[in-house]
Structure 1
Amino acid sequence: MINVFQPSLGPEELAAVEAVFSDSWPGLGRRTTAFEAAFADHLGVDPARAVFVNSATAGLFIAVELLGLGPGDDVVMPSVSFVGAANAVCAAGARPVFCDVDPFTLNPTAADVERSLTDRTRAVILLHYGGLPGEVAEISRLCRERGVRLVEDAACAVASRVGDRACGTFGDIAVWSFDAMKIMSTGDGGMVLLRDGEEAERARRLAYHGLNHHSGMSASRSVARRWWELDVAVFGRRVIGNDLTAAIGLVQLERLPGFVERRRSVAAAYDRLLAGVEGVETPPPVPENHTSSHYFHWVRLAPGERDRVAAELLDRGVYTTFRYAPLHRVPAYGAGPVRLPGVEEAAERTLLLPQHQGLSDAEVERVSEELVSAVARRPPHRSEPDR
């Protein structure tokens, strides 16, 4: 089976884990702090603002709590988004308001976001679909003008930029994911970035039981004389990262440029091999001055064909998928009868192809050939009988 997603882990990561074992301390410690600093350097921001947690979803829940969202508050987000964002909003008692997306890029435009703002909107959660930055600069400007906080869900955008500015640095809060399906992986893990220094400190407390300091085994040695005494500042939880996963993350971060370059080559190969194929539309080019992480690579198929083609490819050993299923269709979120034509079109026609740095040239060619063959096997149209 050729997988849609697949991490790249090797002897370097294994050696880093072995070093943690040798130290006999896999928990929160100096490697966690080093990973936060290295990732902050990758973004070009102050290391004190980066907090390593156990998942991007945990980061989204922290973001909602930091912003004080609750009953009576609206949060705008694209319907093509990850379930974790909507769960974080609804768990706080706030209301997700789902906006439309461009059916080709699957990112919302600033106009899509603006149309969904209400007089109760307190925040916007923006996903960078497939690693494309989208109109993040314009949406950031809109949020500032309207006095609305912006949360960037940069889970797909670990190396995405607009000019020299990294995705995740446009909003007030941002989260990244390092789960097993992401470009760089720590198995599970996530990073939270806070624009405000006081919110960053509060985020650290929320991630670790609400305590004002960590244990004596942590990277920090500036502890109180009786460090075992408790100082609970807020009611937090335990969603911290640890040195075992941070050690893997440090190696993965060093390898990230090579990962992204290979993914860029895979995307270019797909576009070349599928150019001009009847019934297959390749994704739009990355806009000038934008850098994509190439997390997803997708094609658009004729209406009614996507599911059939996906099933045939699976039978042929090629795993494809669609992400993310429209959230406005999920009854639990209470969106009601909302019309989002861009989302509806994308959800019926978009198919994600295998896209990861472990793909060989031969596998990319095979995926393309199988896709072309499956599309060509389109069942003949059945005309209505004469009446």
Structure 2
Amino acid sequence: MTINVFQPQLGDRELAAVAEVFRSNWLGHGPRTKAFEAAFAAHIGVGAEHAVFVNSGSTGLFMAMELLGVGAGDEVVLPSISFVAAGNAIGVTGARAVFCDVDPRTLNPTAEDVEAALTPRTKAVVVLHYGGYPGDIERIARLCRERGVALVEDAACAVASRVDGRACGTFGDIAMWSFDAMKVLVTGDGGMLYVRDPELARRARSLAYHGLEQTSGFVKAKVSHRWWELNVREYARRQIGNDLTAAIGLVQLDRLPEFLKRRAEVADHYDRELAGVPGLRTPPPLPAGHDTSYYFYWVQMDPAIRDAVAADLLEAGIYTTFRYPPLHRVPAYGSDAVLPNAERASDETLCLPLHQGLSHEDVDRVVTELRESVGSKLS
């Protein structure tokens, strides 16, 4: 049986929550959506009015560019080791994506990496928390404030990541989390958007639903005459979440501590069993005060053997991957950047299975096969 690199954990509680939505006969945006927004806002320590449940984390990235007014002539800085949605969200506006380098071990950018890419045309910086590691977010946030540049946190990997108790996603101006089927907390598809500025948060809520000031004529019908009339002030799309997925999200959020506990146990097991293996490097330790979501567990090795090791593991029924291939190598973005750390990391790094559904036997099997494969390539 294949050991997956990512895998959600769903059960009777999620089924019961979905069944209750069915019984209510209200599947769209409604009370459970609002409850999920409020619960997640409390989880990250902000007011519910700043959180908007949308249909994907990628939607949040696209909305962030729209909310910030990014357009032709602007530049947006982001690490090359990042998900393609970030590059697409910038490119579709007509702005230029400017890719910065990363630390080769953490795969997160430092403040110095970001600063080196800033120009007078920089409108925003987008930072990913790689694998759930908070990274240099405090210094990057300070740099952006000093330069008057908006900071967007792609917190897709960082649903429970914190620095000295402060949630990743709340250091910048806008953030989004992903709840797709491969994440720690899943809703099938979905994401949460956080907007610090209250007025911009209100605009985000409107943009998420066609630019309408109200999301339901049925609700409006109770309080006003001609509730079917529209008040649309700008073009927008339907990007909201719904009660079906929000109901799953509420249960998953409640279960998040148990998920994190098991993921931490798996990561600790890898750390112990892979420490000192010749030719293999495990993730660097977290700085004091940093908490991770344990989304990725990555190892690094000589590029000459990385792909062959991945092939050996796949043949043994263990699926591994590398997230995320460098965006400055993607032809669509037209970048000529030379980023040696990002290029080195992308050729050396392999993400191992890490999820709360892994058994002790599964983890031992991964360790055994990995050690044997690396050892055979170096002998």
Classify the TM-score, shorter chain. Answer: over 0.9
Alignment partner, residue 203 of structure 1: 204
Alignment partner, residue 384 of structure 1: none
Counting only pairs closer than 5 Å after superposition, residues 102-141 of structure 1 correspond to structure 2 as 102-141=103-142
Alignment partner, residue 376 of structure 2: 377
The Cα of 1:222 is off from its aligned counterpart by 8.0
1:253 counterpart SS class: helix
Tell me how far apart the structure 2 counterparts of residues 141 and 224 of structure 1 sit (CA, whole Å): 46
Alignment partner, residue 299 of structure 1: 299
Tell me how far apart the structure 1 counterparts of residues 334 and 311 of structure 2 sit (CA, whole Å): 31
TM-score of the aligned structures, taking structure 1 as reference length: 0.96
1:260 is aligned to 2:231: no
Letter in 2 for 1:112: D
How big is each residue's C-alpha offset from its partner over 1:326-383, in whole Å with a ceiling of 9 and x where there is no partner? 00000100112x2111101100100000000110111111000000011111176xxx
Counterpart contact for 2:127–2:153, Cα < 8 Å: yes
The Cα of 1:303 is off from its aligned counterpart by 2.4
How big is each residue's C-alpha offset from its partner over 1:1-35, in whole Å with a ceiling of 9 and x where there is no partner? 00000001000000000000001111010000000
Alignment partner, residue 80 of structure 2: 79
1:45 counterpart SS class: coil
Tell me how far apart the structure 1 counterparts of residues 223 and 216 of structure 2 sit (CA, whole Å): 8
Counterpart contact for 2:221–2:227, Cα < 8 Å: no
- Cα distance change of structure 1 residues 79 and 14 upon mapping to structure 2, 3 Å threshold: same
Counting only pairs closer than 5 Å after superposition, residues 224-303 of structure 1 correspond to structure 2 as 224-303=224-303
- Cα distance change of structure 1 residues 221 and 249 upon mapping to structure 2, 3 Å threshold: farther
Counterpart contact for 1:25–1:243, Cα < 8 Å: yes
- Stretches of structure 2 that go unaligned for 5 or more consecutive residues are none
Letter in 2 for 1:363: D
Tell me how far apart the structure 1 counterparts of residues 281 and 221 of structure 2 sit (CA, whole Å): 56
The Cα of 1:223 is off from its aligned counterpart by 5.5
Letter in 2 for 1:325: P
Counterpart contact for 1:303–1:349, Cα < 8 Å: yes
Counterpart contact for 1:213–1:223, Cα < 8 Å: no
How many residues matched? 378
1:374 counterpart SS class: helix
Tell me how far apart the structure 2 counterparts of residues 287 and 217 of structure 1 sit (CA, whole Å): 51
Tell me how far apart the structure 1 counterparts of residues 171 and 375 of structure 2 sit (CA, whole Å): 44
Counterpart contact for 1:78–1:101, Cα < 8 Å: yes
Counterpart contact for 2:279–2:378, Cα < 8 Å: no
The Cα of 1:226 is off from its aligned counterpart by 2.0
The Cα of 1:52 is off from its aligned counterpart by 0.2
The Cα of 1:233 is off from its aligned counterpart by 1.9
How big is each residue's C-alpha offset from its partner over 1:96-144, in whole Å with a ceiling of 9 and x where there is no partner? 0000000100000000000000110010000000000001010000000
1:340 is aligned to 2:320: no
Tell me how far apart the structure 2 counterparts of residues 109 and 18 of structure 1 sit (CA, whole Å): 46
Identity of aligned residues (%): 64
Letter in 1 for 2:377: R
Counterpart contact for 2:134–2:168, Cα < 8 Å: yes
Counting only pairs closer than 5 Å after superposition, residues 53-202 of structure 1 correspond to structure 2 as 53-202=54-203
2:304 counterpart SS class: coil
The Cα of 1:224 is off from its aligned counterpart by 3.6
Counterpart contact for 2:177–2:192, Cα < 8 Å: yes
1:76 counterpart SS class: strand
2:307 counterpart SS class: helix
- Cα distance change of structure 1 residues 357 and 230 upon mapping to structure 2, 3 Å threshold: same
The Cα of 1:225 is off from its aligned counterpart by 2.7
TM-score of the aligned structures, taking structure 2 as reference length: 0.98
Counting only pairs closer than 5 Å after superposition, residues 6-25 of structure 1 correspond to structure 2 as 6-25=7-26
Tell me how far apart the structure 2 counterparts of residues 358 and 26 of structure 1 sit (CA, whole Å): 29
Alignment partner, residue 356 of structure 1: 355
Counterpart contact for 1:205–1:234, Cα < 8 Å: no
The Cα of 1:302 is off from its aligned counterpart by 1.4
The Cα of 1:296 is off from its aligned counterpart by 0.2
Tell me how far apart the structure 2 counterparts of residues 109 and 222 of structure 1 sit (CA, whole Å): 53
Counterpart contact for 1:155–1:176, Cα < 8 Å: yes
- Cα distance change of structure 1 residues 358 and 27 upon mapping to structure 2, 3 Å threshold: same
Tell me how far apart the structure 1 counterparts of residues 88 and 221 of structure 2 sit (CA, whole Å): 36
Counterpart contact for 1:97–1:116, Cα < 8 Å: yes
- Cα distance change of structure 1 residues 344 and 221 upon mapping to structure 2, 3 Å threshold: farther
Tell me how far apart the structure 2 counterparts of residues 202 and 279 of structure 1 sit (CA, whole Å): 52
The Cα of 1:217 is off from its aligned counterpart by 4.2
Counterpart contact for 1:215–1:228, Cα < 8 Å: no
- Stretches of structure 1 that go unaligned for 5 or more consecutive residues are 381-387
The Cα of 1:216 is off from its aligned counterpart by 3.4
Alignment partner, residue 32 of structure 2: 31
The Cα of 1:261 is off from its aligned counterpart by 1.1
